[in-house]
Structure 1
Amino acid sequence: MKQLENKVAIVTGGVSGIGKAIVEAFVKAGAKVVVSDLNEKLGHELVNADKDGRILFVKADSSSPEDNKKIVDVAIENFGALHIAVNNAGIGGPAATVGDYALDAWNKVIDINLNGVFYGMHYQLPEIEKVGGSIINMASILGSVGFAQSSAYVAAKHGVVGLTKSAAWEYGTRGVRINAVGPGFIATPLIDDHLDQATQKYLAEQHAMQRLGKPEEVAALTLWLASDEASFVTGSYYPVDGGYLAK
């Protein structure tokens, strides 16, 4: 039997990069997946590539409470239950010192990266509690350490880790395991689009393994946390960072 056979999952921000790798890993493991994102083109491409009807796409803004409710509603209406949620949607935000950080930029990063995780869990938990399951919140290595000129992102990801731990205690006896994953710098389209080769080389060298991570490596950890193999794991923060935090 496959790891996620007969399970229904939500993956936010799931049409590219880490999110897409998670969706593909979940489907391969037997799950049906509701994928949300703002990029309709990539969302429809993902659905069209799925030959077994296991993927549904919902255009949704993770910073919207109403959109988070809609994602859960789609899962229940189409697949009948919800067992797993991966709150993965996020943005990097601009680079600036705290004193120069634009207030609207700060609010946008917090809304998507932190509030969006809370909104997702708020609507996911009542449904997952009915059947038992797992929530995985995508934090970052920057949920554990600081990074200059990224105050909003760092604050949001620290918040995600704290939110995860608090919720895990609340639901520890209610059949829902809740964990956070902390990727290092991962080779995704977002990195390629925004950072030149010299910057990517510098970031790679900050990891003990002297390279960027791969989306599939984050997906493998996420799949394990979603599965029953992680049945005694909750309230934890799991870096997958090539040794970045071992400095």
Structure 2
Amino acid sequence: MSRLKDKHAIITGGAQGQGAAIARAFVAEGARVVIADVADDAGSALADELGDVASFSHHDVSDPASWDRLVTEAEERLGAPVNVLVNNAGVLRFGEVDTMPLDDFDLLINVNLRGCFLGMRAVAPSMKQNRQGSIINCSSVEGLAGMASLTAYTGTKFAIRGMSKAAAVELGAHGVRVNSVHPGMIDTPMTQAHGGDAAMQWGATRVPLERVGTPEDIAPLYVYLAGDESGYTTGSEFVVDGGVTATHAFYPGNSGRGAAR
């Protein structure tokens, strides 16, 4: 397959979960990738699995100097300018607005929001110079609506949605596209850390398709947005959520089937 032939991508948070599935899908479609993450062992193992078209770089998305090093290293390893950036790295913390520790709030801001902004800033000059590029920012369904105990997380994901639109307007004249992806509940190590399989089973009862998503459900959308097929698409939101945002708070889940209407 060659939908991503001549695409040279950085994928943050690429060592596991959604990032790893995106990396595998990109390579399967002909891209060369740099997997960027703080999880050294998992990232190195994935790069080894994918072969010569992939490499791993230790990377802290909240650190501007780390971004400078990453882009320089990526272009050396790829042998070409980076023309796809997947800002996938993120963290999840629950906490109510009046009790959440400020340290948790700052972590969410630094990784989810600052990391996304720094990534766009790091690749934009080269993409503008070469008049091509696709930046794909991972938001969430919490970037479209709020959820209790996720005020801070929701704030970062709404901000990513807005930054993506503004950056799309700034960069469009230079041939650079920016879009946001809004996954629903996806079974990944990050979400498993907050409730495990029991949380996944509960989540499935709240989804019209009656299951939580997998990283492999998400990856094909990133392939589309990274490639030339989406060449007239920028500043847009793409939702992959099993139908969650198609309904509203009155949706009863499986427990309400057969209720009076």
- TM-score, scaled relative to structure 1: 0.96
Match of 2:100 in 1: 101
**Which runs of structure 2 are paired with 1:102-117 in the superposition (5 Å)?**
102-117=101-116
Alpha-carbon RMSD across the aligned residues, in angstroms, is: 1.2
Q: Is the partner of 1:41 in helix, strand or coil?
A: helix
Contact 1:69 1:120 in 2 (8 A): no
Matches of 1:200 and 1:19, distance apart in 2: 19
Letter in 2 for 1:200: M
Alpha-carbon deviation of 1:241?
A: 0.5
Match of 2:196 in 1: 196
Q: Is the partner of 1:98 in helix, strand or coil?
A: coil
Alpha-carbon deviation of 1:105?
A: 1.0
Q: Deviations over 1:213-238 (max 9, x none)?
A: 11111110011011100011000011
Matches of 2:196 and 2:37, distance apart in 1: 26
Alpha-carbon deviation of 1:104?
A: 1.2
Q: Deviations over 1:28-57 (max 9, x none)?
A: 111110110001000110121123x11111
Matches of 1:205 and 1:69, distance apart in 2: 44
Alpha-carbon deviation of 1:9?
A: 0.4
Q: Deviations over 1:127-161 (max 9, x none)?
A: 12233020000000000000111111100000000
Matches of 2:54 and 2:186, distance apart in 1: 24
Aligned residue pairs: how many?
Answer: 245
Match of 2:20 in 1: 20
Q: Deviations over 1:64-108 (max 9, x none)?
A: 111122211111122221110000000002x22111111111011
Matches of 1:77 and 1:199, distance apart in 2: 42
Match of 2:251 in 1: none
Match of 2:33 in 1: 33
For the pair 1:208 / 2:220, whether they are aligned, the reply is no
Unpaired runs of 5+ residues, structure 2, are 248-261
Matches of 1:56 and 1:197, distance apart in 2: 32
Unpaired runs of 5+ residues, structure 1, are none
Contact 2:27 2:50 in 1 (8 A): no
Q: Is the partner of 1:50 in helix, strand or coil?
A: helix
Match of 1:77 in 2: 76
Matches of 1:64 and 1:226, distance apart in 2: 25
Q: Deviations over 1:154-180 (max 9, x none)?
A: 000000000000000011111001000
Letter in 2 for 1:138: C
- TM-score, scaled relative to structure 2: 0.91
Match of 1:246 in 2: 246
Letter in 2 for 1:58: S
Matches of 2:54 and 2:243, distance apart in 1: 34
Letter in 2 for 1:190: M
Match of 2:53 in 1: 54
Matches of 2:176 and 2:235, distance apart in 1: 10
Matches of 1:196 and 1:81, distance apart in 2: 40
Q: Is the partner of 1:33 in helix, strand or coil?
A: strand
